[in-house]
Each structure stands twice: as C-alpha cells, then as structure tokens.
Amino acid sequence: MRIKSLILLSSILCASFCVSINSALATPIISKPIASTDKSEAVIARVTPDVAQALKAKGLSLGSPVFLRVIKSPSPKNGHIENGVLEVYVKSHEGQYVLFKSYDICAASGTQGPKMKTGDGQSPEGFYFVSASRFNPWSSYHLSLNLGYPNSFDRAHNRTGNYLMVHGNCVSIGCYAMTDAGIEEIYTLAYKAVANGQKIVRVHAFPFPMTQTNMEAAKGSPHYSFWKNLKQGWDWFETKHIPPNVNVSHGEYIFSPLPISLQTLR
C-alpha cells in the first residue's frame, strides 16, 4: 500500500512538473496590443479605404509589412535640412519592399548630423524601430510614432535625449514633423502592418541619399566617419530591397540578413 502511495505521489509530482515545463516552453510570446483612442480609431477608419485603394493600384496590400526611410535633405551641399522626405516602402507579394509613397517632411529642426544630447534640437540619424508599444494616439501633435531614441548605438556613444517622434502638426524640436494628413496615412500603414503580425517597423534615418557622389561631397564633415557606417545600411537596402537586421558591435552598426523567423512573418 505504501509503495502504491509513493508511486501515485511520484506520478502526480512528475505530471505536474512535466506540465509546467512543457507549458513554459510552449507559451507564445504575446505582443503588447497597440494603444488606441476614439480619435485614432476614427482616423484609421477614415483613411483606410483610400490607402487600401492606392496600395491595390500598385499591386500592394494594406496590412503587409512596411519600412520607413527618412532622408533629411537631397544633398550635403550646405548642411541644412530642407526638402526632406519620409519614404514608405511596403512588402510586395514577391518579398521585396516597394516604394509606396514619399511624404514631404513638414518640419525638422537642426542640421545634417546625428542627435548628440538633450536639447541640441537635432533630429536623429541612424537605425530605429517602432513596436506596438511605441504608437502614441494621445500625442499633442495629432498622432505620433516613437523612434526609440537613444538606441544601443546612441547609448554606446553617450548620446542623450528621448521621445523623438515622427508626428503631425508640422512643428518640430528634434522630431520629424509631417502634415496631419501625412501622419494619418503613415500611422495607418504602420498600424495595419503591426496589427497584422509585423513585430517592428524599421525606421532608417539618413542626412541625405548616401550615394557615392553625395559621400564625396560630404568628406569635409566631422560626421563623415559616422555617415560611412550609415551608408552600409543604405547600400544594403538599395541592393537587396529588404531592410537589414541591425545590431551594434564595438560602437558601430553592423548589418546582416533578417532572421528566418522574421522573414516569414507578414
């Protein structure tokens, strides 16, 4: 009887232990839900039909992964920020990212070059991302997407600052400000992609198109070495039409193919 009791107790303990281990291994990683307000929901509902139609005309679909690329100026000619654009790329059915639309940046403060510290008025340059928790429907600037500055590269270089956004209202002190109509479309595209399974929306910010001609013209800049590192990420996307996976090693950005697990996500 005692032996049977011990066997029974052992079986119960083993079953409990095995269930707990298996449950822990099988538990899915659940992304945080995207915050919403009555305003953001109304905006998305209003904008969705036109954006979906415009995407369909280019053979693209609303809810497919998106990639955002910021270009502060067309060239390094005078170091000023002027005629900047935010490009939205959407993943095609063939797996490459296709330019959907280029939005004029309504306002961006500072000059070409990275943000270095709190209060310098600079807009960041580098490789950032927007996750579900970085959507801000309560923004004082209509709607906003938090870039996550400072990233690990910025922290490795002792750069400071926070709450650097892409937002509306056409006013900027270190952020990338769009028109309200522009941010509504950008926000909707990003929202639909993340709601449909994209884990993060990559946002790459450059001072100018990193062509060889522009790099030659920028050689006298104190930021030239930093820009050479950025150019590696620029060239990766220009060549492969898929944004790279970006990490930081020894104070530099390094680039590699996206993990298979991320490539297979919508």
Q: Which residues are catalytic?
A: 167, 175
Smallest CA-to-CA distance from 65 within 129, 147, 111, 159 is with: 129
Name the burial class of residue 235, with classes exposed (0-12), middle (13-18) and buried (19+) by CB atoms within 10 angstroms of its CB. Answer: middle
Cβ(173)–Cβ(109) below 8 Å: yes
3-class DSSP assignment, residue 102 = strand
CB atoms within 10 A of CB 122: 22
Structure tokens at 80: 């000023």
